[in-house]
Structure formats: C-alpha cells, structure tokens
Chain A
Amino acid sequence: MTSVTGIIKNSAGFHLRPAQLFVEKANEFKAKVMVKNEKGMSVAGKSILGLMTLGVECGSQIIIETEGEDEVSAAQALLDLINSKFGEE
C-alpha cells in the first residue's frame, strides 16, 4: 500500500467539482483508492458522494491510500491534482 498526505488548498474546500475531478483521475488507475480526513473518516476515492461527505475544508489535511499494481503512480497523480488546487483560482 502507498500512502501520501496532502493539504487541500483551494478556498472552497473539497466540494462537488474537485470531488468529480478526483474521481476521474482515480479512475485512470487500477489501484484501489481510499481517502481519509483529519477525523479518521475513510471513504472510497472513486466515489464523488463519498468524497463530499468528508467535508474537507481549505487547509485541511487528507491522506490518500492506494493499493494495487499502479498504486505509486496513482498516489502521485492524485497528490499532484490536490496541489494544483484542482485548477481553481
């Protein structure tokens, strides 16, 4: 399993649009993706609704866990997406 930690930097947090982009990116990989918020709540990283229920705000930390043959590239791609602020602002 690969685990990376990222900080959500876009001002509106992890809402619908970022969640959609995250799921699209996650679906490019075979690896299973799980996302955890600071409270330890864990959801499937390929579910828009799941990600939205995390209620992650700007400045919060999330942990991305990937598992599968392409887990390292999946984790890196998802971390890059978060760091790009999902193309917002």
Chain B
Amino acid sequence: MELLDIITDETVFIGLEASSQEECLQAMAGGMEKAGILSNKDVYIAAVAEREHKGSTGIGFGVAIPHGKSSGVQTPGLAFARLKSPVEWNSLDGKPVQLVFLIGVPEEAAGDAHIKILIALSRKLVHAEFREKMLAVNSTAELYQVLQAI
C-alpha cells in the first residue's frame, strides 16, 4: 500500500485551524469529499466518531490516526492535517494531538484495506525523524517528498 497513491492535494491541510476533534474531522472529511473519496460525508464521519468512541486513535507523540470503514466512502483515501494548535484527543499518553492522519475505506473493501494503510503509516511514524519532518513541512509538495523518502 503506497500512501502517496491515496493522498491528494485536496486532502492535505497544513496549519489547519481547529479548536476540537470534531472541527478537525469535519474539515478533513470536507477535503476527502471534494477529492471524490467520500460519497456521504455525514455517514463517514459518524463511522469515524463511533470508532473514536470505542477507544481513542491518539497513539501518542501528538499523533492521531482516526479511521472509518463506511458505506459513505467510495474509494480508499487518506487525509493529513498538521494543526495550527494541538487539540485534545484522549490520547493514551494524555498529550494533545497536532498531526492527524484520517483514513477512509469503503464498507465493501477487502477486509484488510484499512489495516494495510495503518501498517504502512505506522512503519513511517515509528521513526522520530518522520514525525519531526511532518511537523515542519510547509507545503503539500514537501509533504509528498517526506512521505516518499521515509
């Protein structure tokens, strides 16, 4: 699974202003809708919120990986946001989140599509260098470079 294949200009938010998790998810899902990843934004957000309710996707290091498998998703997609100011995410380490990777996969997608995306993402996020660079990128082009390089 190549992350670069499922992320697009419309789903990259650098310096996103959001005061809460909900606001952040709304904005990012809006980008996914524009990019044609979502067929029904509300249905998708409800699935993401339900997953979040089962247990926070804030994995620590100021990173969250919210995700939803939903009939509101047309094709697998990834959105990225670096928030202007960190927001509360009930993370395991108690720290607020500044880097958000939002994953969407269609309901009928092969059972493990979102797991493959999660694995690909975690293999990058495990490197402190990757996390630092994601916090420092200033443009979508730079973001793509970091995603490709690490």
Contacts and interface: CB of A to CB of B under 8 A. Distances in A.
Contacts of B65: 16
Nearest to B123: A53
A16 B112 contact: no
Given A12-B111, A12-B112, A13-B112, A20 B92 contact: yes
Interface residues of B, number: 18
Interface stretch (B14-22, B78-86, B114-122, B142-150): B114-122
A17 B54 contact: yes
Given A16-B59, A49-B61, A49-B125, 6 more contacts: A15-B115, A16-B118, A17-B55, A20-B59, A49-B122, A52-B118
23 contacts: A11-B111, A12-B111, A12-B115, A13-B115, A15-B118, A16-B57, A16-B118, A17-B54, A17-B55, A20-B55, A20-B92, A24-B92, A48-B60, A49-B61, A49-B125, A50-B126, A52-B119, A52-B122, A53-B122, A53-B126, A55-B119, A55-B123, A57-B115
